[in-house]
Chain A
C-alpha cells in the first residue's frame, strides 16, 4: 500500500500518457502533455496551498489573539479564500491618473512569474522533481531575484509618495538579505557536495536511527536560523515587512493597487513564501526524508509538504509576535550580524567536514560558532545600548 502511494503521481502520469499513446497521438504532443501535467499539478498544488494558507494564517493569528478568526464562510471558515477570490476579482481596479500605466500593469506579472518558475526545481518526493537541474540552487536564486525588480516597478509606477518610500525600502532590504541567504544555502550545498536539490536531500539520509538532517548539526542549526531570517526578509514578512509597513506607509508599494492586481501581488507573495520554505526544508530539514527510518511507510511527498506547512506555520507564529524593524536596524542587522555569522558558519561546516563528521567535528564547529555568536552579539547590543532600566518610585 505505501509503495503504491509513494509512486502514485508518477504512475498516474504514465497511465495518462499510455492512454494518449493508445490513441495514436504524435510523440511531441505527448511530451507537451507530460510537461503540461507536471506544471499543472505543481501550480495547482501551490494555489491550493496559497488558498489554505490565506485562511489558516488569519485563523492562527486570530487564535493567538484570543478570537475566532473567519468562521462564517463554509465549515470553520474554510471557504473564505473562495469569498476573497470573488471579492478581489469583482473589485474595481483603480489605476491612479498620473501613474505610469504600462509599468503599473506589468509589476504584478513580473512579480508572479519568478514565484512560479522557482517551483520547478524543488524535490517534492523521492523521484518527484519537475526539472532535474544540477545547479538547482543557483537557478533558484537567479530567478528569485526577479521579485525585487517587480516591487520597485510597483512602487515607482504608482506615483505615490508612500509607494516610492516603500519601493526604496524594498530594494535596500532584499539586496542586503540576499547575501546571507545565499551563503547559508551554500554551506548546505558545500557539505552535500552538489548544487542539485535532489542530491542535497539524499545526502541527508538517515545515519543510524538519528535523521541525518543538517539542522541537527551545530553549523547546520545556525545556518538554518540565518536562512530562516533571510527567508522572512525575502518574502517581506514580519518582522521585515518594511516595504509594506502599513503603520507608516499605509500599504507601501501596494498602496495604489486594488482588485485583481492586488490579488496577484498577494498570491505571488504567498507562493514565494512557500517556495522559499520548500528550499529551507530541502536544505536543512531533509526534504522528503522521513525523520526516522521506521516511518518510511509514509510516502515521501507527504513528508515534504508537512514540513513546508510547519515552516509556513512558524512564519505566521513569528508574524503574530514580533513588531517591525526600523530601516537602519534592519540594514545594520543584515550587514553587521547575519553576513559575518554566515561566513563563520561556512568555516564551521568545513571544520565539521574535515574533522570527520564525528564528535570531534561537532566540538570544533560548535566552538567556532559559539565564539562568533558571543562576540557579535556583545558588539551588537553594546552599539544599540539595549540596557534594562530600573525605575524609581515615590510614595
Chain B
C-alpha cells in the first residue's frame, strides 16, 4: 500500500508530524506527504522509545520481569501484569483461587474504565477541545488511581499480579471506597457523553472519517474496541472466557460504520459496561486466600514448553508468548502489542483525508508508545 504512484514533488509538501508533536500520544513520527491539506502518502516511523523490553525479560527471572510489564502500556499497568501472569500460569499450570480472580476482574475493569475515559479526553484534545473533556476524564481517573495506590502502593507502576493470584489483599475500607467511585462513575460518563456525542462539530469531524470494513479490520489485525467499531463481534472476555468473566452479565457493543465516531462510542459504551461488571464483582467478592500458596514466585521454573496467553486489554488483544526451557529465565518472551498492530492500517485509513483528520484517526486508534516500541 505504501508504494504510491510517482508524485510530482513540485505540488506536494513533505511534513514530518512528530516525533516531538502535541498530539502523537508519545514519541511517534509520521512522514506525511501533503497535496494542499489532503494526505497523499503517510509513512509511520517507530523506535524512538525502543528499549528492547523482550531482551531485558529474557535476562531476568520470571518474577523480576513482572515490574517491567508495568512499563509496557503505562496507561493500564495492571492489565499488562494480568496478561503476563495469565501466560505464566498457562505455562506452569498454576491454579488461581476464587478471591484473587474477583480482585483481578475488579482491578482490570477499573483500568479499562480509566483508560476509556482518558481516551475520550485525549480525543477531544486532538479535536481542539482545549482539555475540558480531558480534565473531566482525569477527574474520574484520579479517583481510580487513588484506589490503585491504596491497594498496590503506586498509582501507576502497580506490579500487583503474581503467578497464581495477587500480591496483597485489599486493605480495610478499600471496598467501600471502590463502591463510592463506581456509584458516581455513571454521572461523570454522562457529562463526557453530553459534551462529546451531541456536538455537531464533533459529529461533522468524526463521522465518516477513517471508515473501515469488518473484513479489512480483521485482516489488518485490528483488535479490541477498534475492531468492534467495524461491526465485528469479538471480545476475548467472551471468546476465551479467561478469569471468571463468564460469571458476570455484560454486553459487547458493536459499531455500524467503523469510523472514528463509532470508535469513540465503543469506548463510551464499553466504559458503561465496565461499570456494570464492577457493580456485580464488588457485590459478590468472596473471602479466601489472595494467592495460590503452592505457586512458587521467586524460583519459579516452569516445565519446558511454550504458551500463548492473551487478555482483552483496554487497547486490544494483549498477548504474551513464552517459551520455557526449564530454567528460571524465559527462553523466549514475546509481547503481542495491540497498539503497534492497530497501526498497521494507519496509512490506509489516512490517505485522502485532511491533515486535521490524521490526528483524529490516530487519536481514535488509541496508541501508547511504551507498548508500540517496547
Contact = CB atoms under 8 A, between A and B. Distances in A.
Task: Determine direct contact between A and B, CB below 8 Å.
Answer: yes
Interface of A: 61, 64-67, 161-162, 164-165, 238-239, 241, 245-250, 319-329, 381, 384-387, 389-395
B43 interface: no
29 contacts: A65-B132, A66-B135, A165-B34, A238-B128, A245-B128, A247-B23, A248-B355, A248-B358, A250-B21, A322-B201, A323-B124, A323-B199, A325-B201, A325-B205, A326-B204, A326-B205, A326-B356, A386-B207, A387-B207, A389-B255, A389-B265, A391-B253, A391-B255, A391-B256, A392-B254, A392-B256, A393-B252, A393-B269, A395-B251
Contact of B256 (A67, A322, A324, A389): A389
A65 B355 CA distance: 28
Contacts of B136: 65-66
A95 to B, nearest CB: 20
B135 A65 contact: yes
Most buried by B among A161, A325, A326: A326
Interface string B3-40: 00000000001010000011100000000001001000
B195 interface: yes
Contact of A248 (B129, B139, B199, B359): B359
Contacts of B21: 250
B233 A329 contact: no
Contacts of B199: 322-323
A320 B130 contact: yes
Interface in B157-195: 195
Nearest to A386: B203
* Range for the number of chain B residues in contact with chain A: 35 or more
A248 B21 CA distance: 8
Given A385-B207, A394-B251, A65 B131 contact: yes
B23 A248 contact: yes
Interface of B: 13, 15, 21-23, 34, 37, 124-132, 134-136, 139, 195, 199-205, 207-208, 233, 249, 251-257, 261-262, 265, 269, 354-359
Contact of A323 (B15, B128, B207, B257): B128
A67 B128 CA distance: 19
Given A250-B21, A386-B207, A393 B253 contact: yes
Contacts of B358: 248
Given A238-B130, A246-B22, A395-B252, 19 more contacts: A61-B130, A247-B23, A247-B128, A248-B23, A248-B355, A248-B359, A250-B22, A323-B128, A324-B201, A324-B356, A325-B204, A326-B204, A329-B204, A329-B205, A386-B203, A389-B255, A392-B253, A392-B254, A392-B256
Contact of A161 (B15, B23, B195): B15
A323 B206 CA distance: 11
Contacts of A393: 251-254, 269
Contacts of B251: 393-395
Contacts of B203: 384, 386
A391 to B, nearest CB: 5
Contacts of A250: 21-22
A250 B19 CA distance: 12
A386 B256 contact: no
Nearest to A322: B201
Contacts of A381: 200
B125 A247 contact: yes
B359 A327 contact: no
Contacts of A165: 13, 15, 34, 37, 355
A323 B356 contact: no
A74 B339 CA distance: 45
B357 A326 contact: yes
A172 B128 CA distance: 19
A225 to B, nearest CB: 15
A393 B266 CA distance: 11
Given A165-B355, A247-B22, A323 B127 contact: yes
State the 8 A-B residue pairs at the shortest beta-carbon distance, nearest first: A324-B128, A65-B135, A323-B127, A393-B251, A323-B129, A386-B203, A247-B23, A323-B128
B23 to A, nearest CB: 4
Given A61-B130, A322-B129, A389 B262 contact: yes
A61 B134 CA distance: 13
A394 B254 contact: yes
A239 B128 CA distance: 8
Contacts of A164: 13
Contacts of B204: 325-326, 329, 384, 386
